[in-house]
Amino acid sequence: MNVLNDFTSPQGLAMATATLARRKSSASKSRPVHRKNHALVQEIKALLGVELSLVPNSAFQTRRELYADGLPPLLAAIEERNSSAPAGSTSLPPHLARMCATPLLSPEEEQLLFCRMNYLKYRAQNLRSRLSEETSTGAEVAEVRDLIGRAERIRNYLIEANTRLVMSIARKFADTKNSFDDLLSQGLASLMHAVEKFDFDRGYRFSTYATCAVRRDLYRMVMGSKKNRQRFNTGAGELLDACPQSEPSEPRLGEANLRQLETSVQQMLGQLDERERRIVEARFGMANPGAKTGAKASYSRLGKELGISKERVRQLANRAFAQLRGLAEELRLETLLA
């Protein structure tokens, strides 16, 4: 009865109303905190999912902080920049000019940047391994995010500083069947991978490492494209070549040029070894001038004559053809056919 009187009295009703108000106020204040904690947890999960590819170094474990007294000017400018360097005056297209605006690096600058980039990733990886969804604070998350961002800016700077190297290599592979833009795109992808994998502590230049990586990948791309073209070749070119052609009104090759061409061909064949020369002469009917026009020895027959497999004959033929193409460029045979 006393309890009922307490809740039905004016004083009891006032106390109950005040208690409910306090509970509502505390609940409304706690909701933003839950939203904030949820956002922090999501950011921690995102950082844990970021792939950090670094080249470890024993020096990273023996020092607490590199450049604790202040960063060198080059590092400070790169780590604090918000965008790429502006493009200078050049005849290149705008997108290529922006990529080539970054100046070349000296060996000391190159060593400095690679060391700093991998050290930042090393610190970020160590701090990230201690992150916890229950106990980590926003300051800890911000520090990891800042370290990753600084490493990414140095990585981008290294890529921009070596873009001209990729362009020079891509130009050498470009032709009518392999566009420069496609080769440049593949070359830049190879350059990005090389920046991640380069071990700066071995003492050699990054350009040496990157040149080998880019050339290898572009060569594979060109050879793969060639195989695809051969796979879907319909033979229309051979059919057109077999069609009878009308006699030209003027001789296409002068007597002097013809003799010079024959001499040059013999010189080129002399650069091959005995098996390669025999294969080339048999394939093009030069070994038996009296044979039927267009007749050529098969790889199987040549393999039996030389005592090797058909596939080995094909490999020797391809090697010989590649060598002859290089010799033809050196001797500038195209000028004799002009």
Give the model confidence (pLDDT) of 272-322 as tens digits: 888 888 888 888 777 665 555 446 788 888 888 888 888 888 888 888 888
The pLDDT-based confidence of 337 (bands split at 50, 70, 90) is low
- Averaged pLDDT for residues 63-81: 73
Which one has a higher pLDDT value, 168 or 89?
168
Find the largest Cα–Cα distance for the chain. 134
Which residue, 114, 50, 51, is CA-closest to 78?
A: 114
- Per the prediction, the chain carries an average pLDDT of 78
Structure tokens belonging to residue 281: 């002469």
Confidence of residue 195 (pLDDT cuts 50, 70, 90): very high
Sole residue written with tokens 């050699």: 204
Q: Is the pLDDT of residue 31 over 70?
A: no
pLDDT for 277: 86
Measured torsion, CA atoms of residues 140, 141, 146, 147, in degrees rounded to the nearest 10: 70
Could you tell me the pLDDT band of residue 193, with boundaries at 50, 70 and 90?
very high
Residue 235 has pLDDT above 60, yes or no: no
Residues 80, 62: Cα–Cα separation, whole Å: 26
Rounded distance, CA 300 to CA 302, Å? 5
Between CA 265 and CA 270, with CA 269 as vertex, the angle to 5 degrees is: 115
- CATH architecture of the region 58-228: Up-down Bundle (1.20)
> Per-residue pLDDT for 21 more than 60?
yes
3-state secondary structure of 258: helix
Asked if 313 and 303 count as a contact pair (C-beta separation under 8 A), the reply is yes
Tokens 């001499």 correspond to what residue?
Answer: 263
In 3D space, the residue among 158, 150, 125, 162 whose CA is nearest the CA of residue 71 turns out to be 150
Mean pLDDT of 76-81: 80
pLDDT number for residue 250? 47
Q: Which helix (H) or strand (E) holds 226?
A: helix 206-231
Neighbours of 206 (CB within 10 A): 23
pLDDT value at position 28? 52
Which pLDDT band, with edges at 50, 70 and 90, does 221 fall under?
A: very high
> Which of 11-20, 192-201, 205-214 comes out lowest in average pLDDT?
11-20
**Cβ atoms of 321 and 271 closer than 8 Å:** no
Report for 92-96, 112-116, 316-320: range of highest mean pLDDT: 112-116
pLDDT of residue 244: 57
CA distance 44 to 12: 48
CA 303 distance to own-chain centroid? 41
Two tokens at 134? Answer: 């229950």
Decide: pTM greater than 0.75.
no
Instruction: Tell me: pLDDT of 102 over 60.
Output: yes
- Which architecture characterizes domain 255-337 according to CATH? Orthogonal Bundle (1.10)
Between CA 47 and CA 29 the distance in angstroms is 29
Spatial distance between the Cα atoms of 153 and 315, rounded to a whole number of angstroms: 47
- Supply the pLDDT for residue 8: 55
E strand or H helix at 7:
helix 2-8
CA distance between the termini of the chain = 121
Residue 18 has pLDDT above 80, yes or no: no
With a cut of 70, say whether residue 254 has pLDDT above it. no
Cα 77 to its chain centre, rounded Å, is: 26
What DSSP state is assigned to residue 235? Answer: S
Helix/strand/coil for 267: helix
How many CA atoms, within 13 angstroms, populate the side-chain half-sphere of residue 113?
27
**Dihedral (CA of 245, 247, 253, 255) sign:** positive
**Domain chopping of the chain, boundaries:** 58-228, 255-337
Placement of tokens 């024993």 in the chain: 58
Cβ of 207: how many Cβ atoms within 10 Å?
A: 15
Average of per-residue pLDDT across 25-51: 67
pLDDT at 20: 65
DSSP 45-94: HHHHTS-------GGGGS-S-TTTT---HHHHHHHH--SPPPP-S-SS-H
Residue 35: what pLDDT?
A: 47
Q: Backbone phi, then psi, for 64, in 5-degree steps?
A: -80, -40
CB atoms within 10 A of CB 98: 19
pLDDT at 243 over 60: no
Q: What is the pLDDT of residue 249?
A: 47
Predicted local distance difference test score (pLDDT) of residue 336? 61
